[in-house]
Structure 1
């Protein structure tokens, strides 16, 4: 059997393997519509200007690939050390004209199985580098959407970072939407005959709401710092406006995340109300049974009194007459209760 080996010519001219090429992709956006894909090995040869923006996206890059990108774009070593760390706390740092920001995007299933994905953005003049260990759907969608040509080249690196951070916030909006759908399904179950089955789901939603808030809340320091005038005092007003709008959008996302806890509390109140209604129905039925049985017991007690009366001389006929009368009384009481809707 013939066994084929990988053709060395399939590797790029810079000697990178297929995996390394897949982990690094770059696109040069030109305001004049001359966008082009750029090989990561050719980043050093790219000429940047105020009307051109380079975006390099790295997915779990190797140390050698990271060194290559950092050297090609002349990025500070402090940013590289921050990227290489295993920290997941959102942060914002600056070194001269370069700044980098670390945020945590969220992915989940029906608002329950939440998972954080770290995204680090490094911005220098006319170039932005994005890094993440796992593929991010919104980054892939943005990269593919703009592959056919766009006006992104007219943006500054700061404004493009603001755009990426806004897409990052969209992951929280989407998760909240999934959470609301899960709440609606839960409340439908609560309003049916499956209240007891809804309690584990209610507990999981409460836990998910707390986790979602813990994931988004630490970003407040990042977005508020980006919107402050002392962060990039010499930048254009457009970038300041974009960061201010981004901070407003973050506050909106935070309000929606905070609202998820209220949704869970509302569902719990609905759950307790339904349980209380069921308890009331059960108690009303038990009270009715106690009244009917008590009435029959009173009649049986009267008939069991030790004194002579013509009724007791009827023997078997009187016994069955008394039993029939009590049965008729119980049946009438049950029919009346059903007619009134007591149970």
Structure 2
């Protein structure tokens, strides 16, 4: 167990937040009901207003506070963190005239990554994976993005600042985000999500190396459970990335007035990154299957070694049992017509023991000569 304790703390687990609550079968499409965990006490709404000459960030209580900026010629990014307050979210959705199906998908956090085009906007659903140093696990979160002509809305489950790098770039005067339209900001957000996948798979690689090291040193029963756990995590990550690849490909191929051709060039780069992530995940899945086969081979070989030792011991005792069986018949020489002279011989007992020992020694040397053990 020492080896298990040595390595097991190095294997962070992945925590996939999945709610057991689901919409009732037969519910009408567009029914808005929060499906997921509540991570915040109050919903937080932040406005990022910008153009090539200025950048401003502030928190608002309701969407009406953002009207002066939405009516101006600047571009506006409204970040909403927390999805449990449906009434407050509806004030945002109704103001921008979002389709009921968009509203339903935003608060149903079990959505798969996808891309949909509507008359007044484009809707994205992403799955963000991040590695938590504090909790030593990998967490997943749904990110919803609504792209309009001069605004962009984002909805997150938590108040974690995953898009801090994007905001930092926006604060720079010569930022490319500020000089481009809001579709470029949407690209930057998607690119940030994909970049986090690389951080996750780097940790997956480290965990696989730890499992391999443990397998080569002193495999324990716990190791098989860790291998199966890591395999399930890789499969879940794969299911997260594959739909995103298809969604980005649809963005590139479809014609939309909300995405400029220049931005599609950058989206092609994101598409290449998703392909790279998928290829890496496939390699890691093969490696995990290889570790599973190695563990099963080790277990099989260990069992074969045990069976070989037991077989050798049993084989050695076969002639000993035969000799003991013969002289254990106890035929009375006065009654039986066939005399067993050894039964009345003075040295019969030590002679039979010597014969047994000699038989065992001969068989041991014979097995060693054959290389059987």
Taking structure 2 as the reference length, the TM-score comes to 0.67
Output the CA distance in 2 between the equivalents of 1:254 and 1:210: 11
Q: Residue 35 of structure 1: which of 48, 55, 63 is its match? A: 55
Q: CA deviation at 1:297?
A: 4.0
Partner of 1:54: 76
Whole-Å separation in 2 of the counterparts to 1:183 and 1:58? 37
Q: Relative to structure 1, is the Cα distance of residues 280 and 137 closer, same or farther in structure 2, using a 3 angstrom cutoff? A: farther
2:141 counterpart of 1:117: yes
Separation in 2, partners of 1:39, 1:24 = 6
Which residue does 2:289 correspond to in 1?
A: 265
**CA deviations over 1:279-314 (Å, ceiling 9, x no partner):** 2212321232133223434555787897677x8776
CA distance in 1 between partners of 2:193 and 2:273 (Å): 11
CA distance 1:243–1:97, change in 2 (3 Å): farther
Question: Aligned residue for 1:75?
Answer: 96
CA deviation after TM superposition for structure 1 residue 342, in Å: 5.3
Name the residue aligned to 1:292: 316
| Unaligned segments of structure 2, at least 5 residues | 1-39, 330-337
- Relative to structure 1, is the Cα distance of residues 270 and 340 closer, same or farther in structure 2, using a 3 angstrom cutoff? same
**1:239 lines up with 2:270 in the alignment:** no
Task: Give the whole-Å Cα distance in 2 for the aligned partners of 1:144 and 1:31.
Answer: 14
1:320 alignment partner, one of 350, 355, 358: 350
Q: 1:184 aligns with which of 186, 209, 228?
A: 209
TM-score between the two structures when normalised by the length of structure 1: 0.72
Partner of 1:77: helix, strand, or coil? coil
Question: 1:54-74 deviations in whole A, cap 9, x for unaligned?
Answer: 332110264565466568xx6
Q: Distance in 1 between matches of 2:168 and 2:346?
A: 97
Tell me, in whole angstroms, the C-alpha distance in 1 between the residues paired with 2:288 and 2:152.
Answer: 40
The match for 2:124 is: 101
For the 8 Å contact 1:53–1:154, the answer to whether it is kept is no
1:92 partnered with 2:123: no
RMSD: 4.0
Is contact 1:117–1:132 with CA below 8 Å preserved after alignment?
Answer: yes
Secondary structure at 2:99 match in 1: helix
In 1, Cα distance between equivalents of 2:216 and 2:96: 58
Q: Does 1:213 align with 2:238?
A: yes
In structure 2, C-alpha distance between the alignment counterparts of 1:267 and 1:259, rounded to whole Å: 12
Question: How many residues are aligned here?
Answer: 315
More helix by share: 1
Choose from 153, 167, 176 the match for 2:178: 153
